[in-house]
C-alpha cells in the first residue's frame, strides 16, 4: 500500500517546481502534484492540512529551543512546572 510517506520526496520536488520562472513548468508541476496526491487518495486540501499540522507541531519545539538560550526565573520555573503538572493530569490550562 502506497502512503504519503512514499510520495513525500516526489511531492517535495513538485512543490519546489512551483517556484520556477517558467509558466509551463509551474502548470505541469501542479497537474503532476495532483496526480501524485491522487495516487494515495489525497488532494491539495489534504496537503494543506498536513502543512498546517506540521506548523502546529513546530511551535512547541521552537519555544523549547528558545528557552534553552535563557534560564527562566524562579517564578517562570514555578509557572512552567505547574503547567507541566496540569498537563500530566490531563487538565487544560
Domain ranges, ordered by start, for the chain: 4-88
What pLDDT score does 87 carry? Answer: 85
Span 71-86, pLDDT tens digits: 888 998 899 889 888 8
The model scores a pTM over 0.75: no
Interacting residues of 68 by C-beta distance below 8 A, sequence separation 6+: none
Structural contact between residues 37 and 46, judged by C-beta atoms closer than 8 angstroms: yes
Read off the C-alpha cell for 18.
Answer: 512551483
Task: Please report how many Cα atoms fall inside a 13 Å half-sphere around the Cα of residue 93, on the Cβ side.
Answer: 9
Read off the C-alpha cell for 36.
Answer: 501524485
Structural contact between residues 14 and 29, judged by C-beta atoms closer than 8 angstroms: yes
Amino acid at each position: 500500500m502506497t502512503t504519503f510517506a512514499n510520495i513525500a520526496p516526489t511531492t517535495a520536488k513538485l512543490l519546489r517546481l512551483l517556484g520556477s520562472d517558467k509558466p509551463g513548468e509551474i502548470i505541469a508541476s501542479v497537474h503532476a502534484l495532483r496526480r501524485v496526491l491522487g495516487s494515495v487518495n489525497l488532494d491539495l486540501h489534504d496537503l494543506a492540512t498536513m502543512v498546517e499540522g506540521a506548523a502546529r507541531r513546530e511551535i512547541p519545539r521552537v519555544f523549547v529551543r528558545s528557552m534553552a538560550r535563557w534560564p527562566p526565573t524562579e517564578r517562570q520555573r514555578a509557572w512552567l512546572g505547574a503547567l507541566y503538572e496540569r498537563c500530566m493530569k490531563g487538565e487544560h490550562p
